[in-house]
Amino acid sequence: METEPKKKRTYTVEQLENRRRWREQNREKISAKKKQEYAADPEKFKVISAANRAKRTPEQSAAHAAYIKRYHEENKEAVKAAKRKYHEAHRAELRKKAAKWFEKNPEKRRDFTRRRRAEQSGSGSEAKKTIVKWEKKWRSAKLVRCYWCEGSFKPDDCHLDHVHSRPACKKLNLVWHCISNVCVSCAPCNLKKNSSGLDDWNKKLGSPTLL
């Protein structure tokens, strides 16, 4: 058995009910106060919540996880909106954090980009529109990153390149001109790659692509 806390107050059902009702009626107020307290000393709250987590029994942890999961399922739209709001409010720092992460995990960058684009890819004219939009975006950037050598270049010095060649796509049953198969390539890489197959080309790269 766990040792009893020094002072454990017991409440009557009525008191608990009153408290619950009061909290419900003052939700905004409570949340504002909590936010204020958190902003004043975030470290303190991190310590408290870590301590609370540590106090949970495995059953309580499981119940809590189930509660969170259920909440997310039942409030999908609200959770999404909250996430979006958070992202918008913290865009700069999130971007910095991501950049730092990619710096530590350079091999993941290309893979990540490709996967994200694959998720966005479709077929037919929608897919083409996506590519046009994508090219417009990087063409108007100051500097772009070459997918192959990962160097920074002016967009004017770059080409739209296809990761897999047309014949390779036929063989692999992939769509050649789709967003997950296009990339930005600097002119030298584009030239060098075209004279060799993707396998050979991969061997020449400083950090091969994860194909």
Site residues (vs Zn ion, CB under 5 A): 146, 148-149, 186, 189
Q: Is the Cβ of residue 144 or residue 186 nearer to Zn ion in the bound state?
A: 186
Q: Which is nearer to Zn ion, 131 or 183 (CB)?
A: 183
CB of 138 to Zn ion, least distance (A): 14
Residue 167: HSE in the Cβ half-sphere, 13 Å Cα cutoff = 3
Nearest to Zn ion of 122, 151 (CB atom): 151
Cα distance between residue 34 and residue 24, in whole Å? 15
Residue 102 CB-density burial (10 A; 0-12 exposed, 13-18 middle, 19+ buried):
middle
Q: How far is the CB of 198 from Zn ion (least distance, A)?
A: 15
Q: Is the dihedral of CA 32, 37, 41, 46 positive or negative?
A: negative
Instruction: Supply the minimum distance, in Å, between the C-beta of residue 194 and Zn ion.
Output: 13
Residue with tokens 């002016």: 154
Q: Supply the minimum distance, in Å, between the C-beta of residue 175 and Zn ion.
A: 24
Query: What is the torsion angle, in degrees rounded to the nearest 10, for the CA atoms of residue 197, residue 199, residue 204 and residue 208?
Result: 130
Give whichever of 121 and 209 is closer to Zn ion, judged by the CB atom: 209
